[in-house]
Amino acid sequence: MEYMTLNNGIKCPVVGIGTFMLSPAQAENSVREALKMGYRLIDTANAYVNERAVGRGMRDSGVKREEIFLSTKLWPSEYENPNAVNETLERLGVDCVDLLYIHQPAGNWLAGYRQLEKAYKEGKAKSIGISNFEGEYIAELQTKWEIVPQLIQVEAHPYFTQKELRHTLDKYGVKLMSWYPLGHGDRSLIEEPVFAALGKKYGKTPAQVILRWHTQMGFAVIPGSKNVDHIRDNLNILDFTLTDEEMAQIAKLDKGERYYHRTEAQLKQFAGWQPDFEKA
Ligand SMILES: NC(=O)c1ccc[n+]([C@@H]2O[C@H](COP(=O)([O-])OP(=O)(O)OC[C@H]3O[C@@H](n4cnc5c(N)ncnc54)[C@H](OP(=O)(O)O)[C@@H]3O)[C@@H](O)[C@H]2O)c1
């Protein structure tokens, strides 16, 4: 495994598995199998309603807790719940997480960020992060954070490389973790001819070339999968290196276009939605 060093000295694996849209049974299976294969980074969230299943997958894997970098996210409905962090840890079945994000700049997100800072001071979160904060939200948070976050989790892939955001956050040493790294199942990204050509050269699939690109951009990457063959492939990306010319070829795909367009109306809806934790 390769690791990146965060701005607080903690080491985070550069490749992990994401569990968005995985049912509890799928998440449990993917997490257990991934850890057995050598994964050490797991990403979940209150909102994925699979945290208990992720905890079971971790325990069943036989991998020691201290070897696993576990990341989860508080959902906006939890930002003002004083027990949100303890309840999250209870669902996961752990004493602390390695990374705790606030998931959205919705509702009373500053209260959510204060909960992260408190959890960090109490040792319940070894690092903290923000997710989906861009533009005005980043600008406001920068004036209010007491503890600088270690990571930001946002949409990033070769079509949308988050240049502006990276420019803003680089000076704080905030690392980027990419979501939708493979385009969330959209075939057009994976089928770009450049990835097939580079895959042929290195004996890799197009998806593996894209994931290697993420790590060489300095991103942590958490492809989601319920397919054991994909999960195996997605980890097997650290034994080749794209040249500078090849990275430049891939850079030409940057259209500044994201897949997911969030609106202010959606942020309002997010603030009003409560995950059904009974199902997690
Ligand atoms: N913070 C946020 O708001 C946010 C938002 C979205 C996602 N995320 C996080 O980011 C993670 C990744 O995003 P995502 O899962 O939505 O999108 P993704 O990783 O870009 O794509 C997942 C899709 O790609 C397929 N896939 C995975 N590996 C493959 C491979 N080697 N070859 C071909 N297809 C492959 C999966 O199908 P199979 O299951 O069949 O493999 C699935 O349909 C999430 O799981 C979640 O942890 C965070």
pLDDT digits (tens, 9 = 90+) for 30-78: 999 999 999 999 999 999 999 999 999 999 999 999 999 999 999 999 9
Q: Which mutation among 184, 226, 258, 266 tests ligand 1's pocket best, with the greatest number of atoms within 8 A of CB?
A: 184
Ligand 1 center–CA 179 separation, angstroms: 7
**Residue 205 placed within a domain:** yes
Give yes or no for residue 101 having a pLDDT over 90.
yes
| Torsion over CA: 72, 77, 81, 83 (sign) | negative
Amino acid letter, 258:
R
Q: What pLDDT shows up at residue 280?
A: 85
pTM surpassing 0.85? yes
Asked if residue 223 has its Cβ within 6 Å of ligand 1, the reply is yes
Q: Which amino acid is at 221?
A: V
In the block, tokens 């996210």 appear at: 73
- Tell me the C-alpha distance between 91 and 56, whole Å: 10
30 burial via Cβ count (<10 Å: 0-12, 13-18, 19+): buried
- pLDDT tens-place string over residues 192-202: 999 999 999 99
Q: Tell whether 33 is covered by a domain.
A: yes
What is the distance in A from the centroid of ligand 1 to the CA of 184? 5
Q: How many domains does the chain have?
A: 1
Q: Which tokens in the block code for residue 158?
A: 């070769």
Q: Is 157 a domain residue?
A: yes
Which residues are tagged catalytic? Answer: 48
> Quick one: average pLDDT of 91-95?
98
Q: Is residue 278, in this structure, part of any structural domain at all?
A: no
How many CB atoms within 10 Å of residue 258?
Answer: 15
Centre of ligand 1 from the C-alpha of residue 1, in Å: 20
Q: Verify whether ligand 1 is closer than 6 Å to residue 258 (CB atom).
A: no
Assigned domain for 220 exists: yes
Alpha helices in the chain (DSSP H): 24-37, 51-61, 84-92, 109-121, 135-144, 163-170, 187-190, 193-202, 206-216, 228-235, 244-251, 264-272
pLDDT for position 279? 87
Q: What is the mean pLDDT of the chain?
A: 97
Within-domain flag for 235:
yes
| Interhelix angle 163-170/135-144, nearest 10 degrees | 10
129's enclosing H/E stretch is strand 128-131
Assess if residue 276 is contained within a domain. no
175-177-179 Cα angle (round to 5): 155
Express each pLDDT in 237-262 by its tens digit: 999 999 999 999 999 999 999 999 99
Indicate which CATH number applies to the domain containing 166.
3.20.20.100
What is the predicted pLDDT for the residue at 178?
Answer: 98
User: Which range marks the domain in which residue 187 is found?
Assistant: 12-270
163 lies in some domain: yes
